[in-house]
Chain A
Amino acid sequence: MNKSFFRIFQISSSFFMANMCPYGRFTHAVVRGIPESFGKPAGDGGKENGEVSVDLAKAQRQFGCLTGALRQKVGLQLIEIPADGELPESWRIEDVAVIQGDTALITRPFKQQRRSEVEAVRRVMSELNLTVVEMGAEQGGSGGATLEGSDVLFTGREFFVGISSHTNHSGAEVLADTFRDFAVSTVPVCGGSRLKNICSMGGPDTIVFSSTEGAKKTLRMMEQLTDHHYEVLSVPEESAANCIYVRGPSKKDFLLHRPVEECPDSVSAFQKLPDYSLLPTACSEASKLGASLSSLCLLINRKHTYF
Chain B
Amino acid sequence: MASTQTPVAAPSTSSTPLPSTPTITSDALPQNRPERKVSSLKKPAELVTLYAGKSNEKFVVHKEFVTHYSPVLRAAFSSDFIEGQTQTYRLEDTTEEAVRLLIHWIYTQKLDITKFDDWKPAPESPERFAIRKQNDSLANHWVLAEKLFIHQLQNLAIEEIEDIRVCSRSIPLSVCRYVYQNTSAKNPLRRLLVDQCAAYIEADKYERIGADFPQEMLIDLVTVYAKTFPIPQRTHLRPTSGVGLARYKVDEP
Q: Is chain B a partner of chain A in the same complex?
A: no
B contacts, CB < 8 Å to A: none
